[in-house]
Each structure stands twice: as C-alpha cells, then as structure tokens.
Amino acid sequence: MKISGELSCDCKKPDDTASANVIFWRVHEDVFPHPQNQRIGKLGKFDTLMAMPGDSEIELTVGGSPNFFIKSIQYNGAEAGVAFPLNRNAPEHLVSVTLSDKGAEISGKVSANDSVVDGAHVVLMPWPITTREGYQMYTEAAADANGKFRFRNLAPGKYRIISIGPAAWDTRGRPDIINHWIVVAEDIRLEESRASTVDLECRIL
C-alpha cells in the first residue's frame, strides 16, 4: 500500500521544516512491527510503501523538528487525528500534514510542604490520554535544583499534569502506573502561542 503526502507549515520560519521526517506508527501490534520513517523531499512531498492488512489504523508523528507540533492532518481530503484508519478500498491514500511553530509553553515550580523536592519530575499527558502499542503517551521534564521546570513547543489542547518524586519516578515502567498518576493529576488547557505558569505540589513521592 502506497501512502503519499505533503508537509506544510503554518510557521514563522517555514524553511526550518527541511529537517523534518514523517513517522508512521502501528496502532495495533499485528499491523506492522516497526515505525516507518520517511524523509521529506522537495516541496514538502513524501511517500512510503507498507504492507497493511485490512482497514488498518496508523498513527503519524513528525520527527527531526523539535520546534514544531502537528497542527492538522488530512487523509484523502478529510480531517483526521494523529491516528486514523486507512480505507483499503480507496484508490489512493493521500495525507496532508500541517506543522506549526506557534506552540504553547508551560513552566512552574515543584515543591512539597514549601520545600524543593530533589530529583522531582513533572509528567504532562494529553487528555484524553493517548496510547501507542499499549503504552500511555506522556512528556516529562526533570525539575532543576530550584524545583523549576519548563515544557516548550506543545500542541494546544487539554492536558493533565502532575509532579512525581524520585522514588515514584523509578516505578514508571510498571504496568498501569500512569493510570494511577492520572487520577491525582491536575487539568490544564494550553493555548497556541501562549505561555502558562503552574506551581505543583508533589503529591506522589
């Protein structure tokens, strides 16, 4: 199955997308074993071949450009999320990706009982939470010696955020541990091109 597409940018500096590459991920483990990494060609064009049984679902991410986020995806002319099903009966598979460098930013400070938590991490999860190959997706940042943290170039939208102490952070590989963290996480909405500030009480040490 051939997937062709075009990458464009709603950006301040469009030429910066020259280093980008489009990555196709499986949504279900029995679709294909490894992500397909496709470099962007001239005029933002890309295409890739992959074996896809039935009406398979794929997830698309963009790598090589940490200053951008995916603003929109269209599949065969219709709006799609980052994960979408491929129609095996479609005569062609055209994907249009728009990036933006007008991302949101969030910063703040982690403390516990008004004291800095040494080795604390902050976990930021899109909400509703998304999964890839059965694992919940999240972004993390280590707080510095003063408890300060910062996330940049985030896609606008709803998130949940929580600070994790060093002992709890060491358990992050356990099954369903993220689900336990979500329960006590705080809701936050991020807006395009805007910086937000939140101070966090470290609830899970």
Residues 95 and 119 in one domain: no
- Predicted pLDDT of residue 68: 84
| 108 and 68 belong to one structural domain | no
Same domain, 186 and 166: yes
Residue 182: which H helix or E strand, with range? helix 177-183
Residues 6 and 49 both lie in one domain: yes
* Of the residues 81, 100, 119, the one at which a domain ends: 100
**Tens-of-pLDDT digits for all 205 residues of the chain?**
788 989 888 887 765 666 778 887 766 654 444 567 777 776 688 888 766 555 567 777 877 667 788 899 999 999 998 888 888 888 999 999 998 988 999 999 999 999 999 999 999 999 988 776 667 788 999 999 999 999 998 999 999 999 999 999 999 888 788 888 998 999 999 999 999 999 999 988 7
Q: Do 135 and 94 lie in a common domain?
A: no
User: What's 122's domain CATH number?
Assistant: 2.60.40.10
pLDDT attached to residue 54: 52
Looking at the fold, whether 118 and 134 belong to one and the same domain comes out as yes
In angstroms, rounded to a whole number, what is the distance separating the alpha carbons of residues 115 and 70? 37
CB 29 within 8 A of CB 120: no
Predicted pLDDT at 177: 87
Give the chain's domain count: 2
Domain that holds residue 39: 2-100
CATH assignment at residue 52: 2.60.40.1120
- Between the alpha carbon of residue 5 and those of residues 17, 27, 99, 127, 147, the distances in Å are 15, 20, 13, 28, 43
Confidence at residue 178, expressed as pLDDT on a 0 to 100 scale: 87
Q: What is the pLDDT of residue 136?
A: 77
C-alpha distances in angstroms, 36 versus 1, 50, 60?
A: 13, 8, 10
Are 62 and 108 within one domain? no
Residues 26 and 91 in one domain: yes
- Supply the pTM of this predicted model: 0.78
153 sits in the region (left: phi over 0; alpha: psi -120 to 50; else beta) called: left
Residue that terminates a domain, selected from 100, 133, 165: 100
- Chain length of the chain: 205
Assess whether 109 and 172 both reside in one domain. yes
Whether residues 96 and 6 share a domain: the answer is yes
Q: What is the pLDDT of residue 64?
A: 66
pLDDT of residue 52: 59
User: What pLDDT was estimated at residue 27?
Assistant: 67
Asked if residue 178 and residue 118 are part of one domain, the reply reads yes
Last residue of a domain, one of 100, 118, 139: 100
Whether residue 134 sits in one domain with residue 50: no
